[in-house]
């Protein structure tokens, strides 16, 4: 979508209707993932791709049809065993597309969304895919504002909360609701398309606990990097596929790495010569979470060293140490769960208390 936005912006600004096809679901070896898009505009101009060429001809015709009818369509394409030359994916996969007409009248927030994407500002677009709600209706959700409607106020509230949760992770995918936003029903299918890069998780110390934390971080949607100065431990084979492994002194690597308010930093080095200079750097830069492993004795000694290094009380107050929630964790995997739970609780203002001991809404309005 980012690649074709200049053309879409041009058409939209000229108030020229165009057909927009978006991949909303895939299975098996589909060539492109959710969010891939293709559009057909004036003079039959085509931009983008949804399958690398397998079904673009059919999608071209669909896009023209939805512009003519003004009604969105949901179509699934897959491989046909009966006729290898039929419209389908020769790779054997399957993709589901939402094809909808876009005009200033049908999608008044499109221009603002395009401007945010171009400026690198995070925004999620929620679009009704199926069910008892207007197919193709959109709701644009920014961290602090919302534009549009999916047809029911309750549905808008529930989707807004989830959209902000997906936006925090830069995640894209389908969600299911009741007609009025009921979370335990699946009548209405909504596609949440987040325009934000996934947040980073920086794990320092290539120990067994780091491998478990990296696995959970990857599962939660973070872009995970593990860093350790010891090449014998910092080897890719010890970590999940997709996790970046860096051999460098932790504080040196962090000093040359960009972080922001969504970045998670987990210090598992458990060695003063690594973690003290590393935390000096970490506590003076943007981050959503900074946690350090160690016993209470280790924490006290580390705190003393950080004070001696000149860190202020405000800076030290950002440190979550000892790291994690009190779950009674013992194994690396259990400790990783306690760390992940603390990260989630801190992000959304959770208490970490059992829900059976709390009262009121589990998901406050406007939360993710």
Residue 256 has pLDDT above 80, yes or no: yes
Mean pLDDT of 36-61: 87
171 or 214, greater pLDDT: 214
In 3D, which of 77, 71, 79, 70 has the Cα closest to residue 36?
77
Residue 82 has pLDDT above 50, yes or no: no
* pLDDT band at residue 85 under the 50/70/90 scheme: very low
pLDDT of residue 368: 42
Residue 19 has pLDDT above 90, yes or no: yes
- Strands of the chain, DSSP E: 18-27, 37-40, 46-48, 73-78, 94-102, 123-130, 138-141, 146-148, 173-177, 188-195, 200-204, 223-228, 244-247, 264-267, 289-292, 319-320
CA–CA distances in Å: residue 174 to residues 51, 129, 191 = 19, 9, 5
What is the percent of the chain with per-residue pLDDT over 70, rounded to a whole number? 92
pLDDT of residue 50: 86
Residue 240 has pLDDT above 80, yes or no: yes
pLDDT of residue 363: 61
Mean per-residue pLDDT over the chain, rounded: 89
CB 180 within 8 A of CB 174: no
Please provide residue 69's backbone torsions phi and psi, each rounded to the nearest 5 degrees: -90, -25
CB 212 within 8 A of CB 231: no
pLDDT of residue 91: 52
The 10s digit of each residue's pLDDT in 116-170 is: 988 888 999 999 999 999 999 999 999 999 999 999 999 999 999 999 988 887 8
- Report strand pairing: 289-292 vs 319-320: parallel
Starting from the edge strand earliest in sequence, which strands make up the sheet with 146-148, in order? 146-148, 138-141, 123-130, 188-195, 173-177
pTM above 0.75, yes or no: no
The 10s digit of each residue's pLDDT in 179-218 is: 999 988 999 999 999 998 788 999 999 988 999 999 999 9
Residue 5 has pLDDT above 60, yes or no: yes
Q: What is the largest CA-CA distance in the chain?
A: 74
* pLDDT band at residue 334 under the 50/70/90 scheme: very high
Starting from the edge strand earliest in sequence, which strands make up the sheet with 223-228, in order? 244-247, 223-228, 200-204, 264-267, 289-292, 319-320
Residue 229 has pLDDT above 70, yes or no: yes
The 10s digit of each residue's pLDDT in 49-77 is: 887 666 888 899 999 999 999 999 999 88
The 10s digit of each residue's pLDDT in 280-328 is: 999 999 999 999 999 999 999 999 999 999 999 999 999 999 999 999 9
């Amino acid at each position: 979508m980012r690649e074709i936005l200049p053309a879409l912006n041009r058409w939209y600004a000229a108030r020229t209707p165009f057909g927009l096809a978006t991949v909303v679901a895939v299975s098996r070896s589909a060539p492109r993932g959710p969010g891939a898009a293709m559009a057909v505009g004036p003079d039959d101009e085509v931009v983008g791709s949804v399958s690398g060429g397998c079904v673009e001809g059919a999608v071209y015709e669909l896009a023209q049809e939805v512009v003519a009818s003004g009604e969105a369509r949901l179509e699934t394409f897959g491989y046909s065993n009966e006729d290898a030359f039929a419209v389908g994916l020769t790779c054997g996969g399957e993709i589901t597309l939402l094809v909808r007409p876009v005009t200033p009248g049908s999608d008044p927030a499109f221009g603002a969304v395009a401007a945010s994407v171009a400026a690198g500002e995070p925004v999620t677009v929620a679009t009704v895919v199926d069910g008892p709600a207007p197919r193709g209706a959109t709701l644009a959700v920014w961290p602090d504002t919302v534009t549009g409607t999916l047809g029911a106020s309750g549905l808008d509230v529930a989707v807004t909360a989830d959209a902000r949760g997906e936006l925090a992770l830069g995640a894209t995918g389908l969600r299911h609701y009741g007609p009025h936003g009921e979370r335990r029903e699946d009548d209405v299918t909504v596609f949440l398309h987040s325009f934000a890069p996934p947040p980073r998780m920086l794990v320092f110390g290539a120990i067994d606990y780091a491998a478990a934390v990296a696995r959970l971080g990857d599962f939660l949607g973070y872009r995970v990097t593990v860093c350790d100065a010891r090449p014998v431990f910092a080897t890719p084979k010890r970590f999940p596929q997709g996790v970046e492994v860096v051999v460098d002194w932790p504080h040196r690597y962090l000093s040359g790495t960009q972080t922001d308010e969504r970045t998670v930093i987990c210090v598992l080095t458990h060695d003063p010569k690594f973690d003290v200079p590393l935390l000096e750097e970490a506590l003076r830069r943007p981050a959503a979470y900074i946690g350090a492993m160690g016993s209470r004795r280790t924490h006290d000694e580390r705190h003393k060293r950080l004070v001696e290094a000149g860190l202020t009380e405000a800076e030290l107050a950002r440190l979550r140490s000892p790291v994690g929630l009190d779950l009674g964790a013992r194994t690396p995997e259990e400790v990783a769960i306690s760390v992940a739970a603390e990260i989630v609780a801190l992000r959304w203002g959770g208490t970490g208390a059992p829900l059976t001991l709390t009262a009121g809404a589990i998901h406050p309005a406007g939360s993710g």
